[in-house]
A and B are shown apart, each in its own frame.
Chain A
Amino acid sequence: MLRYLIRRLGQALLVVAGVVVLTFVIMRLVPGDPAVAFTGPKATPEELAAAHRRFGLDDPIPVQLLDYVRDLLSGDWGISLHTKQPVRDDLYLAFPASLELVGTALVIAVVVGIPVGVLAARFKTKFPDIGVRLGSVLAVSIPVFWLALALQLVFASTLDWFPIAGEYDGELDTTSPLTLWTNITIVDALITGNWPIFTSTLHHLVLPALVVAAYPTGVIAQMTRAALIEEGGQDHTRLERALGFGETSILTRFALRPALNPVLSLIALVFAYSLVNGFLVEAIFNWPGLGRYAADSIRSLDTPAIAGVTLLVAVMYVLANLVVDILQGFVDPRTRAR
């Protein structure tokens, strides 16, 4: 197991190194002079030259890459061009908000997706199964940005059941200010017992979380169904059936636990996917997360900020894959051989 761990960690490090290089290359592709973007169009030649020196833009490319890696390692992720703040500080505020949104969405996806998958497997090829299969394919086929607009129109603008946008009511910042611990608003509100902000955040979370949850719910339901049906063909199922267990209890008492193994891996992977999918949703619901930050960065051609977001999400993705593989290695020793 230790050897497997070390090999898997080594692979992950190699991939992260590649990710850093690829991010650097993408940033080098940006047309125009980053120094101009930083100093503004009216800068004097002296100011431009100073900016060039400051960011090392006159150095050879390999030296710039080395500098970039050294800065990243020492925690310097550059200065955002549009907020003028260190990118790391910006991410430190934006990432928890995204985690809050995606985390809530994944809870919804698991709570809905797994039972729905069990239901489909229990009534395979019957009406509930057809409904679940159609519904789950539909859920992964909806463009998130469009679903976000549609839910906003129906449940916020027309019915007025939920707020249109934002993370919580802005006026609560003055009436009951929030003490930050984790930067995840809903967690901080819970820890500090700040009920006005807690309920307001929950209320604001419903619509965007439902939109982000659509895709993971669909794939989790599909995977649960497929894995359960797979288990249904195993010898132990035949034995249980021979012993007189009913179909429902075979599914829930015996088949579900081994079937959840692939579903767990799926959850970790779908987490990173939803983080990016959430970008589009955050922009529409004005959620103060990575997506809104990325959208603002795109608009102002803010390369350090874009690089920061890209790198952070890619590293999260590598981590998610690593966690999946390590968990699989523990649960199912056969995977270690690969």
Chain B
Amino acid sequence: MTEAAPAEVRLRRTLPRIPDRFAALGAVLIVLIVLAAIFAPWLAPYPADQLNPVEAVRPPSGAHWFGTDQVGRDVLTRVLYGGRTSLFIAVAVLAASSAVGVTLGVVAGYAGGWVRDVIMRITDVFLAFPALLLSLALAMVLQPSVNTVILALAVTWWPWYARLAAASAASIATRGYVDAARCLGVPAPRIVLRHVLPNSLTPVLVQLSLDAGGVLLISAALSYLGLGAQEPTAEWGLMVQEGQTLFTTNWWVAMFPGLAIMVTAFAFNVLGEGLRNALDHRSGGARRERAEPASAEAAARVVK
């Protein structure tokens, strides 16, 4: 690499890499969905909880693009506002579980020995439950609310990040610059914060984007079961449940919030996959390594 790289290649290296059209599609969709949720009060054609019994269960029309529900609320308005709740839950779950998971994981990975063993055995126990089951059991015994869903899912999800962070922290702890810092007498907490933590984050970030879709689906399922957001809050899963009894005669009440869940989960899934592929290509053999002996573990990461 003595010659300067051609301009095009340099440009590609500086631009955030968009690996394929699917991932680009996902990224665009997510930006649109997030903007729609943020600007819901301005975009929504009607006030959030405006009841209008005269206009109840009207099919989609020019005045109500997505129709109205059983108390005459505009479904499009509710879907826009519902995005705020649903996306907030997903973001809060991912933030909380990755914060706890990465902290414990980095400590486990750097410390090694019995500390690592204890933390990893605890994650084993949590990972022995399918995610939906554990969060379901937790949400059942707590009072139904948005916070319950967040807590239940965060408790379920942190071990994934703990394991990822522990694996990368353990490999970083053996690097030369960490040894050098140790020899210079830098205290362990500072080594972890300055060297190990920042370098352990990449796989976690990719995993976060891969998980967003799954978290969204499970939180919607919990709300659908009545364990999450409560009336009159607009939340996509809850809206499907509210429209369920009307479904055979007035399909639109449950159809549109369900579509919103699907499109959002789809966008997160394609984006996450694109990011993972990009990372695998960059790190060369990583993908091959994972596809061989560790394939069962890779499979376990797909199915939560």
Binding site for B on A (CB under 8 A): 11, 14-16, 18-19, 21-23, 26-27, 29-31, 133-134, 137-138, 140-146, 149-150, 152-153, 157, 219, 222-223, 226-227, 230, 233, 261-262, 265-266, 269-270, 272-273, 275-277, 279-280, 294-295, 298, 303, 306, 310, 313-314, 317-318, 321, 324-325, 328, 332, 334-335, 338
Report how far A11 CA is from B227 CA in the complex, Å.
33
* CB nearest neighbor in A for B121: A14
12 intermolecular pairs with C-beta atoms under 8 Å apart: A19-B128, A22-B125, A145-B237, A149-B247, A219-B303, A222-B302, A223-B302, A262-B296, A276-B133, A306-B137, A324-B296, A332-B293
**Chain A proximity of B120: nearest CB distance (Å):** 11
Q: By DSSP majority rule, is chain B's interface helix, strand, loop, or mixed?
A: helix
Q: By DSSP majority rule, is chain A's interface helix, strand, loop, or mixed?
A: helix
Q: Assess whether A276 is in contact with B130, with CB atoms less than 8 Å apart.
A: yes
Q: Specify which chain B residues have a CB less than 8 angstroms from the CB of A338 in the assembled complex.
A: 293-294
A18/B303 contact (C-beta < 8 A), A153-B251, A306-B137, A328-B296 known: no
Report how far A142 CA is from B263 CA in the complex, Å.
8
Q: Assess whether B125 is in contact with A138, with CB atoms less than 8 Å apart.
A: no
Q: Assess whether B224 is in contact with A280, with CB atoms less than 8 Å apart.
A: yes
**Chain A proximity of B104: nearest CB distance (Å):** 16
Does B52 sit at the interface, judged by CB under 8 A? no
Q: Assess whether B133 is in contact with A321, with CB atoms less than 8 Å apart.
A: no
A275/B254 contact (C-beta < 8 A), A27-B141, A29-B142, A230-B288 known: no
* CB nearest neighbor in B for A231: B291
Q: Specify which chain A residues have a CB less than 8 angstroms from the CB of B221 in the assembled complex.
A: 143-145, 280
A335/B293 contact (C-beta < 8 A), A15-B124, A141-B269, A153-B248 known: yes
Does B101 sit at the interface, judged by CB under 8 A? no
Q: Assess whether B124 is in contact with A18, with CB atoms less than 8 Å apart.
A: yes
Report how far A230 CA is from B289 CA in the complex, Å.
11
Report how far A142 CA is from B237 CA in the complex, Å.
12
**Chain A proximity of B111: nearest CB distance (Å):** 20
A143's contact among B125, B126, B261, by CB below 8 Å, is which?
Answer: B261
Q: Specify which chain A residues have a CB less than 8 angstroms from the CB of B295 in the assembled complex.
A: 227, 261-262, 265, 328
The contact size tier of chain B is: 35 or more
**Chain A proximity of B254: nearest CB distance (Å):** 6
Most buried by A among B220, B292, B302: B302
Contact bitstring B274-295, A, C-beta under 8 A = 1, else 0? 0000000000000110011111
Q: Specify which chain B residues have a CB less than 8 angstroms from the CB of A334 in the assembled complex.
A: 292-293
A22/B126 contact (C-beta < 8 A), A29-B142, A227-B291 known: yes
A143/B244 contact (C-beta < 8 A), A18-B121, A276-B133 known: no
Does B28 sit at the interface, judged by CB under 8 A? no
Does B205 sit at the interface, judged by CB under 8 A? no
B132's contact among A219, A270, A276, by CB below 8 Å, is which?
Answer: A276
Does B143 sit at the interface, judged by CB under 8 A? yes
Does B31 sit at the interface, judged by CB under 8 A? no
**Chain A proximity of B121: nearest CB distance (Å):** 7
Q: Assess whether A146 is in contact with B240, with CB atoms less than 8 Å apart.
A: yes
Most buried by B among A15, A140, A146, A314: A146
* CB nearest neighbor in A for B300: A269
Q: Specify which chain A residues have a CB less than 8 angstroms from the CB of B292 in the assembled complex.
A: 332, 334
A298/B140 contact (C-beta < 8 A), A143-B262, A149-B244 known: yes
Q: Specify which chain A residues have a CB less than 8 angstroms from the CB of B134 in the assembled complex.
A: 310
* CB nearest neighbor in B for A146: B258
